[in-house]
């Protein structure tokens, strides 16, 4: 029979999985408390980095419908629960892992799919959501601005010709 504290921990981890857009499983063996604080700070407010118990996490993941972590739940484990921009969190984790070799990124879960280390690296290589939205806006705005430039060029040409084309039109009617 599970103790009330373990049941509460499972419910909390399950809620974290359900509220997250992504989760990244890491091994933090050898990192100091100060390094863990730096990592949490670099991940930002929308990502919760929590040290978890493997057996409780396995139960919580199954409760949340995630089977990506079964084989990787061994050793000292921490999970980054990403509630915001998954690309930014993946970038922060991979950058931190480059400078702190003791942090090992094991596996991840993003939009219902399991990610291995290369998948997390690919996610980190993407541009941020804001950059992608800016590119889409620029593509959508380009035809309108091109049409505005053509109309402005026609207006300038008409003014340059002294409005000759504008005066000829009523004479034909």
Nearest to 26 by CA among 108, 100, 89, 83: 108
Looking at residue 173, its pLDDT comes to 46
| CATH superfamily of domain region 4-126 | Ribosomal protein L10, N-terminal RNA-binding domain (3.30.70.1730)
Global model pTM greater than 0.75: no
Looking at residue 121, its pLDDT comes to 81
What are the boundaries of each domain within the chain? 4-126, 130-172
DSSP annotation string for 138-156: HHHHHHHHHHHHHHHHHHH
Query: What is the per-residue pLDDT across 51-61, written as a single tens digit (0 to 9) for each?
Result: 888 889 898 88
pLDDT at residue 89 tops 50: yes
Comparing 32-36, 66-70, 128-132, the range with the smallest average pLDDT is 128-132
């Amino acid at each position: 029979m599970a103790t009330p504290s373990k049941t509460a921990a499972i419910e909390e981890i399950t809620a974290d999985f359900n509220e997250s857009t992504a989760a990244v499983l890491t091994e933090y063996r050898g990192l100091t408390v100060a390094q863990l604080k730096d990592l949490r700070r670099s991940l930002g407010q929308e990502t919760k980095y929590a040290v978890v118990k493997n057996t409780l996490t396995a139960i919580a993941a199954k409760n949340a419908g995630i089977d990506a972590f079964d084989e990787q739940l061994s050793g000292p484990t921490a999970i980054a629960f990403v509630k915001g921009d998954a690309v930014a969190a993946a970038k922060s984790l991979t950058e931190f892992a480059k400078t702190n070799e003791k942090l090992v990124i094991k596996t991840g879960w993003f939009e219902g799919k399991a990610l291995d280390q290369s998948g997390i690296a690919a996610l980190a290589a993407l541009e941020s959501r804001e950059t992608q939205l800016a590119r889409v806006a620029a593509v959508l705005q380009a035809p309108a601005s091109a049409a505005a430039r053509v109309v402005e060029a026609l207006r300038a040409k008409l003014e340059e010709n002294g409005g000759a084309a504008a005066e000829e039109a009523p004479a034909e009617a």
